[in-house]
Amino acid sequence: MSSPTSDSHGHAGSTKLFAWVWLWLVIITGAEVYLAYKHLPPVTMLLLLIGMSVVKAGLIMSYFMHLRFEKASLVWTLIPATIFCIGMLTMIFPDGVRLRDSHTAPQGQVQPK
Amino acid sequence: MSDSHADVLRESPWTGGGSPYSIGSKKLGMWLFIVSDTLTFAALLLTYSYCRLTNPNWPKPFPIFNAIVFTTIMTVVLLGSSLTMVMGVAAAHRGNRASTVKWMLATMLGGAIFCGLHATEWMHLIHDGLTPFSNKYGGSPLFGATFFGITGLHMTHVAIGVIYLGIVATGFGRGKFSAEDVEVSGLYWHFVDLVWMFVFPMIYLMSVKY
Protein backbone atom coordinates (compact mmCIF):
# COMPACT_ATOMS: atom_id res chain seq x y z
CA MET A 1 0.00 0.00 0.00
CA SER A 2 1.14 3.50 -0.66
CA SER A 3 2.12 5.68 2.24
CA PRO A 4 -0.49 8.19 3.27
CA THR A 5 -0.06 11.74 2.06
CA SER A 6 -1.47 14.91 3.61
CA ASP A 7 -2.57 18.11 1.95
CA SER A 8 -2.43 21.58 3.44
CA HIS A 9 -5.73 21.04 5.30
CA GLY A 10 -4.54 17.92 7.08
CA HIS A 11 -6.59 15.44 5.03
CA ALA A 12 -4.61 12.25 4.58
CA GLY A 13 -4.78 9.35 2.17
CA SER A 14 -4.28 8.83 -1.52
CA THR A 15 -6.44 7.51 -4.35
CA LYS A 16 -4.32 4.36 -4.53
CA LEU A 17 -4.70 3.73 -0.79
CA PHE A 18 -8.49 4.19 -0.90
CA ALA A 19 -8.75 1.89 -3.95
CA TRP A 20 -6.75 -0.80 -2.11
CA VAL A 21 -8.98 -0.53 0.96
CA TRP A 22 -12.09 -0.78 -1.24
CA LEU A 23 -10.65 -3.83 -3.01
CA TRP A 24 -9.99 -5.57 0.32
CA LEU A 25 -13.52 -4.78 1.47
CA VAL A 26 -14.92 -6.40 -1.69
CA ILE A 27 -12.60 -9.42 -1.30
CA ILE A 28 -13.69 -9.97 2.33
CA THR A 29 -17.35 -9.60 1.27
CA GLY A 30 -16.73 -12.27 -1.39
CA ALA A 31 -15.21 -14.55 1.27
CA GLU A 32 -18.28 -14.03 3.47
CA VAL A 33 -20.62 -14.97 0.61
CA TYR A 34 -18.47 -18.04 -0.14
CA LEU A 35 -18.86 -19.11 3.50
CA ALA A 36 -22.64 -18.86 3.10
CA TYR A 37 -22.44 -21.73 0.56
CA LYS A 38 -20.75 -23.97 3.15
CA HIS A 39 -22.81 -25.96 5.60
CA LEU A 40 -20.92 -24.86 8.70
CA PRO A 41 -22.29 -25.14 12.25
CA PRO A 42 -24.20 -21.92 13.08
CA VAL A 43 -21.86 -20.81 15.89
CA THR A 44 -18.73 -21.34 13.73
CA MET A 45 -20.39 -19.51 10.86
CA LEU A 46 -21.47 -16.64 13.11
CA LEU A 47 -17.99 -16.24 14.64
CA LEU A 48 -16.31 -16.26 11.21
CA LEU A 49 -18.77 -13.78 9.72
CA ILE A 50 -18.64 -11.41 12.69
CA GLY A 51 -14.82 -11.61 12.71
CA MET A 52 -14.67 -10.63 9.04
CA SER A 53 -17.25 -7.88 9.57
CA VAL A 54 -15.16 -6.44 12.41
CA VAL A 55 -12.12 -6.37 10.09
CA LYS A 56 -14.24 -4.59 7.44
CA ALA A 57 -15.52 -2.11 10.03
CA GLY A 58 -11.92 -1.46 11.10
CA LEU A 59 -10.87 -0.76 7.51
CA ILE A 60 -13.81 1.59 6.92
CA MET A 61 -13.26 3.51 10.16
CA SER A 62 -9.48 3.67 9.81
CA TYR A 63 -9.25 4.81 6.20
CA PHE A 64 -12.62 5.95 4.84
CA MET A 65 -13.64 7.62 8.12
CA HIS A 66 -10.09 8.90 8.59
CA LEU A 67 -9.55 7.66 12.18
CA ARG A 68 -6.11 6.30 11.27
CA PHE A 69 -5.00 9.90 10.65
CA GLU A 70 -6.71 11.54 13.64
CA LYS A 71 -5.22 12.13 17.07
CA ALA A 72 -5.09 9.01 19.21
CA SER A 73 -7.11 10.80 21.93
CA LEU A 74 -10.18 10.82 19.64
CA VAL A 75 -9.88 7.09 18.99
CA TRP A 76 -9.43 6.34 22.70
CA THR A 77 -12.45 8.46 23.55
CA LEU A 78 -14.82 6.92 21.02
CA ILE A 79 -13.95 3.28 20.44
CA PRO A 80 -13.40 1.59 23.86
CA ALA A 81 -16.59 3.12 25.32
CA THR A 82 -18.61 1.94 22.31
CA ILE A 83 -17.19 -1.59 22.52
CA PHE A 84 -17.87 -1.67 26.28
CA CYS A 85 -21.50 -0.61 25.79
CA ILE A 86 -22.07 -3.20 23.04
CA GLY A 87 -20.48 -5.80 25.32
CA MET A 88 -22.92 -4.87 28.08
CA LEU A 89 -25.83 -5.43 25.66
CA THR A 90 -24.76 -9.06 25.22
CA MET A 91 -25.69 -9.77 28.85
CA ILE A 92 -29.13 -10.94 27.64
CA PHE A 93 -27.65 -14.00 25.93
CA PRO A 94 -27.26 -16.36 28.92
CA ASP A 95 -31.03 -16.03 29.34
CA GLY A 96 -31.44 -16.74 25.62
CA VAL A 97 -29.47 -19.98 25.99
CA ARG A 98 -31.63 -20.96 28.98
CA LEU A 99 -34.80 -20.38 26.97
CA ARG A 100 -33.46 -22.27 23.95
CA ASP A 101 -32.53 -25.25 26.12
CA SER A 102 -35.95 -25.25 27.75
CA HIS A 103 -37.56 -25.34 24.26
CA THR A 104 -35.37 -28.07 22.82
CA ALA A 105 -35.03 -30.44 25.79
CA PRO A 106 -37.57 -33.26 26.20
CA GLN A 107 -40.54 -32.34 28.39
CA GLY A 108 -39.68 -32.42 32.08
CA GLN A 109 -35.88 -32.67 31.70
CA VAL A 110 -34.98 -28.98 31.84
CA GLN A 111 -37.01 -26.67 34.01
CA PRO A 112 -36.79 -22.93 33.31
CA LYS A 113 -35.18 -21.31 36.36
CA MET B 1 -4.77 36.87 37.59
CA SER B 2 -2.25 38.04 35.05
CA ASP B 3 -3.28 38.45 31.41
CA SER B 4 -0.90 35.73 30.27
CA HIS B 5 -2.38 33.24 32.76
CA ALA B 6 -5.90 34.14 31.56
CA ASP B 7 -4.83 33.56 27.97
CA VAL B 8 -3.51 30.13 28.90
CA LEU B 9 -6.82 29.28 30.59
CA ARG B 10 -8.83 30.46 27.60
CA GLU B 11 -6.78 28.24 25.34
CA SER B 12 -6.90 25.27 27.71
CA PRO B 13 -9.07 22.36 26.61
CA TRP B 14 -10.57 22.20 30.13
CA THR B 15 -12.11 25.66 29.73
CA GLY B 16 -13.55 25.09 26.27
CA GLY B 17 -10.65 26.74 24.50
CA GLY B 18 -8.29 24.94 22.19
CA SER B 19 -9.26 21.68 20.49
CA PRO B 20 -8.25 18.55 22.41
CA TYR B 21 -8.97 16.26 19.47
CA SER B 22 -7.67 18.67 16.79
CA ILE B 23 -10.95 18.45 14.92
CA GLY B 24 -13.80 20.92 14.47
CA SER B 25 -16.98 20.84 16.56
CA LYS B 26 -19.08 19.68 13.56
CA LYS B 27 -16.90 16.65 13.04
CA LEU B 28 -16.86 15.82 16.76
CA GLY B 29 -20.65 16.20 16.85
CA MET B 30 -21.02 13.77 13.95
CA TRP B 31 -18.73 11.26 15.66
CA LEU B 32 -20.84 11.44 18.83
CA PHE B 33 -24.00 10.92 16.74
CA ILE B 34 -22.34 7.93 15.06
CA VAL B 35 -21.51 6.39 18.46
CA SER B 36 -25.13 6.78 19.61
CA ASP B 37 -26.48 5.39 16.33
CA THR B 38 -24.02 2.49 16.56
CA LEU B 39 -25.58 1.54 19.89
CA THR B 40 -29.08 1.76 18.35
CA PHE B 41 -28.17 -0.66 15.56
CA ALA B 42 -26.19 -2.87 17.96
CA ALA B 43 -29.26 -3.15 20.22
CA LEU B 44 -31.46 -4.06 17.24
CA LEU B 45 -29.04 -6.66 15.87
CA LEU B 46 -28.54 -8.21 19.30
CA THR B 47 -32.33 -8.31 19.74
CA TYR B 48 -32.57 -10.09 16.39
CA SER B 49 -29.91 -12.57 17.56
CA TYR B 50 -31.74 -13.12 20.85
CA CYS B 51 -35.03 -13.80 19.04
CA ARG B 52 -33.27 -16.21 16.71
CA LEU B 53 -31.50 -18.02 19.54
CA THR B 54 -34.70 -18.49 21.51
CA ASN B 55 -36.84 -19.62 18.54
CA PRO B 56 -35.66 -22.99 17.19
CA ASN B 57 -38.04 -22.64 14.20
CA TRP B 58 -36.40 -19.46 12.87
CA PRO B 59 -37.03 -19.27 9.09
CA LYS B 60 -34.28 -19.32 6.46
CA PRO B 61 -35.97 -17.62 3.52
CA PHE B 62 -32.95 -16.50 1.45
CA PRO B 63 -31.85 -18.85 -1.36
CA ILE B 64 -28.41 -18.26 -2.91
CA PHE B 65 -30.20 -17.57 -6.21
CA ASN B 66 -31.48 -14.91 -6.28
CA ALA B 67 -31.67 -13.44 -2.76
CA ILE B 68 -28.02 -13.75 -1.70
CA VAL B 69 -26.65 -12.80 -5.14
CA PHE B 70 -29.05 -9.82 -5.15
CA THR B 71 -28.01 -8.59 -1.69
CA THR B 72 -24.33 -9.13 -2.54
CA ILE B 73 -24.78 -6.74 -5.49
CA MET B 74 -26.43 -4.27 -3.09
CA THR B 75 -23.43 -4.60 -0.76
CA VAL B 76 -20.92 -3.94 -3.55
CA VAL B 77 -22.97 -0.92 -4.72
CA LEU B 78 -22.91 0.50 -1.17
CA LEU B 79 -19.16 -0.16 -0.85
CA GLY B 80 -18.66 1.56 -4.21
CA SER B 81 -20.57 4.60 -3.00
CA SER B 82 -18.23 4.78 0.00
CA LEU B 83 -15.25 4.87 -2.38
CA THR B 84 -16.79 7.71 -4.42
CA MET B 85 -17.56 9.57 -1.17
CA VAL B 86 -13.99 9.34 0.05
CA MET B 87 -12.82 10.62 -3.35
CA GLY B 88 -15.26 13.51 -3.00
CA VAL B 89 -13.89 14.39 0.44
CA ALA B 90 -10.32 14.31 -0.91
CA ALA B 91 -11.36 16.59 -3.81
CA ALA B 92 -13.05 18.97 -1.34
CA HIS B 93 -9.84 19.24 0.69
CA ARG B 94 -7.93 20.01 -2.51
CA GLY B 95 -10.43 22.83 -3.13
CA ASN B 96 -11.75 21.30 -6.36
CA ARG B 97 -15.46 22.14 -6.16
CA ALA B 98 -16.53 20.68 -9.52
CA SER B 99 -14.83 17.35 -8.83
CA THR B 100 -16.29 17.21 -5.31
CA VAL B 101 -19.84 17.72 -6.58
CA LYS B 102 -19.29 15.08 -9.28
CA TRP B 103 -18.08 12.47 -6.76
CA MET B 104 -20.91 13.30 -4.37
CA LEU B 105 -23.47 12.90 -7.16
CA ALA B 106 -21.96 9.49 -7.92
CA THR B 107 -22.31 8.63 -4.22
CA MET B 108 -25.95 9.72 -4.24
CA LEU B 109 -26.55 7.60 -7.33
CA GLY B 110 -25.06 4.58 -5.50
CA GLY B 111 -27.34 5.26 -2.52
CA ALA B 112 -30.39 5.60 -4.76
CA ILE B 113 -29.57 2.33 -6.56
CA PHE B 114 -29.15 0.60 -3.19
CA CYS B 115 -32.57 1.88 -2.05
CA GLY B 116 -34.15 0.81 -5.35
CA LEU B 117 -32.69 -2.71 -5.12
CA HIS B 118 -33.67 -2.98 -1.47
CA ALA B 119 -37.25 -1.89 -2.22
CA THR B 120 -37.40 -4.50 -5.01
CA GLU B 121 -36.27 -7.19 -2.57
CA TRP B 122 -38.83 -6.05 0.00
CA MET B 123 -41.64 -6.19 -2.55
CA HIS B 124 -40.61 -9.72 -3.48
CA LEU B 125 -40.67 -10.83 0.17
CA ILE B 126 -44.00 -9.08 0.84
CA HIS B 127 -45.42 -10.76 -2.25
CA ASP B 128 -44.29 -14.10 -0.79
CA GLY B 129 -46.24 -13.37 2.40
CA LEU B 130 -43.59 -11.90 4.72
CA THR B 131 -44.71 -8.72 6.51
CA PRO B 132 -43.82 -7.20 9.90
CA PHE B 133 -46.82 -9.00 11.39
CA SER B 134 -47.03 -12.26 9.43
CA ASN B 135 -44.67 -14.90 8.13
CA LYS B 136 -45.88 -17.24 5.40
CA TYR B 137 -42.46 -18.93 5.24
CA GLY B 138 -43.32 -20.78 8.43
CA GLY B 139 -41.53 -20.49 11.75
CA SER B 140 -41.38 -17.58 14.11
CA PRO B 141 -43.50 -14.52 13.21
CA LEU B 142 -40.82 -12.42 14.92
CA PHE B 143 -38.67 -12.82 11.81
CA GLY B 144 -40.75 -10.35 9.77
CA ALA B 145 -40.85 -7.79 12.58
CA THR B 146 -37.10 -7.86 13.21
CA PHE B 147 -36.17 -8.13 9.51
CA PHE B 148 -38.26 -5.16 8.40
CA GLY B 149 -37.37 -3.19 11.55
CA ILE B 150 -33.61 -3.44 11.04
CA THR B 151 -33.43 -3.23 7.25
CA GLY B 152 -36.10 -0.51 7.25
CA LEU B 153 -34.16 1.63 9.71
CA HIS B 154 -31.02 1.12 7.65
CA MET B 155 -32.79 2.01 4.40
CA THR B 156 -34.16 5.15 6.09
CA HIS B 157 -30.58 6.10 6.97
CA VAL B 158 -29.52 5.60 3.34
CA ALA B 159 -32.45 7.68 2.03
CA ILE B 160 -31.73 10.48 4.53
CA GLY B 161 -28.05 10.25 3.54
CA VAL B 162 -28.89 10.76 -0.14
CA ILE B 163 -30.88 13.91 0.74
CA TYR B 164 -28.14 15.10 3.15
CA LEU B 165 -25.43 14.64 0.50
CA GLY B 166 -27.60 16.49 -2.04
CA ILE B 167 -27.90 19.48 0.30
CA VAL B 168 -24.17 19.51 1.10
CA ALA B 169 -23.14 19.04 -2.55
CA THR B 170 -25.38 21.93 -3.61
CA GLY B 171 -24.07 24.17 -0.83
CA PHE B 172 -20.44 23.24 -1.50
CA GLY B 173 -20.87 23.80 -5.24
CA ARG B 174 -22.20 27.30 -4.54
CA GLY B 175 -19.41 28.08 -2.09
CA LYS B 176 -21.67 28.18 0.98
CA PHE B 177 -20.29 25.05 2.65
CA SER B 178 -16.69 24.20 3.53
CA ALA B 179 -14.59 21.08 2.95
CA GLU B 180 -15.26 20.19 6.60
CA ASP B 181 -19.00 20.03 5.85
CA VAL B 182 -18.29 17.60 3.02
CA GLU B 183 -16.07 15.50 5.30
CA VAL B 184 -18.74 15.41 8.03
CA SER B 185 -21.38 14.26 5.52
CA GLY B 186 -18.85 11.64 4.38
CA LEU B 187 -18.55 10.33 7.95
CA TYR B 188 -22.31 9.79 8.01
CA TRP B 189 -22.26 7.99 4.66
CA HIS B 190 -19.41 5.68 5.66
CA PHE B 191 -21.26 4.86 8.87
CA VAL B 192 -24.32 3.78 6.87
CA ASP B 193 -21.99 1.53 4.85
CA LEU B 194 -20.41 0.19 8.04
CA VAL B 195 -23.79 -0.78 9.54
CA TRP B 196 -24.65 -2.77 6.41
CA MET B 197 -21.41 -4.74 6.88
CA PHE B 198 -23.06 -6.27 9.96
CA VAL B 199 -26.67 -6.40 8.73
CA PHE B 200 -25.72 -8.32 5.56
CA PRO B 201 -23.98 -11.30 7.25
CA MET B 202 -26.16 -11.47 10.38
CA ILE B 203 -29.54 -11.32 8.65
CA TYR B 204 -28.92 -12.61 5.12
CA LEU B 205 -25.85 -14.86 5.15
CA MET B 206 -26.90 -16.56 8.40
CA SER B 207 -30.33 -17.36 6.91
CA VAL B 208 -29.40 -19.02 3.64
CA LYS B 209 -31.93 -21.54 2.35
CA TYR B 210 -29.96 -24.49 0.94
CA pair distance B18, B1, nearest whole angstrom: 20
| Cβ pair B192, B161 in contact under 8 A | yes
User: CB–CB of B179 and A9 under 8 A?
Assistant: yes
Say how many domains are in chain A.
Answer: 2
The answer to whether residues A55 and A93 belong to one domain is no
Q: What is the pLDDT of residues B114-131, one digit of tens each?
A: 999 999 999 999 998 888
| Cβ pair A25, A56 in contact under 8 A | yes
Q: What's the confidence (pLDDT) of residue B198?
A: 97
Integer angstrom CA distances of residue A33 from A48, A93, B79: 12, 26, 15
The answer to whether residues A90 and A58 belong to one domain is no
User: CB–CB of A89 and B50 under 8 A?
Assistant: no
The answer to whether residues A64 and A96 belong to one domain is no
The answer to whether residues A82 and A58 belong to one domain is no
- B42: contact with A, CB 8 A cutoff: yes
- B83: contact with A, CB 8 A cutoff: yes
Domain that holds residue A45: 1-70
Which segments within chain B are labelled E, that is strand?
62-63, 130-131, 134-135, 208-209
The answer to whether residues A55 and A76 belong to one domain is no
pLDDT > 90? residue A21: yes
Query: Most A CBs within 10 Å: which of B69, B197, B202, B209, as the mutation test of the A interface?
Result: B197
The answer to whether residues A42 and A97 belong to one domain is no
Name the CATH superfamily for B24-209: Cytochrome c oxidase, subunit III, four-helix bundle (1.20.120.80)
Q: What's the confidence (pLDDT) of residue A42?
A: 87
ipTM given for this complex: 0.89
More confident residue, B20 or B190: B190
> Which of A29-38, B2-11, B123-132, B135-144 has the weakest average pLDDT?
B2-11
More confident residue, A55 or B133: A55
Instruction: Give the pairing of strands B134-135 and B208-209.
Output: unpaired
Confidence of residue A7 (pLDDT cuts 50, 70, 90): very low
Searching chain B, which residue's CA lies closest to the CA of residue A62? B190
- B23: contact with A, CB 8 A cutoff: yes
Confidence of residue B54 (pLDDT cuts 50, 70, 90): very high
pLDDT > 80? residue B20: no
Q: What's the confidence (pLDDT) of residue B203?
A: 94
Q: What is the pLDDT of residues B108-118, one digit of tens each?
A: 999 999 999 99
User: CB–CB of B90 and A11 under 8 A?
Assistant: yes
**Closest by Cβ to A92, choosing from B23, B50, B205:** B50
In sequence order, what are the beta bridge partners of B130? B135
Mean pLDDT along residues B143-163: 96
Q: What's the confidence (pLDDT) of residue A64?
A: 96
At a CB cut-off of 8 Å and minimum separation 6, what does B112 contact? B162
How is chain B split into domains, by residue range? 24-209
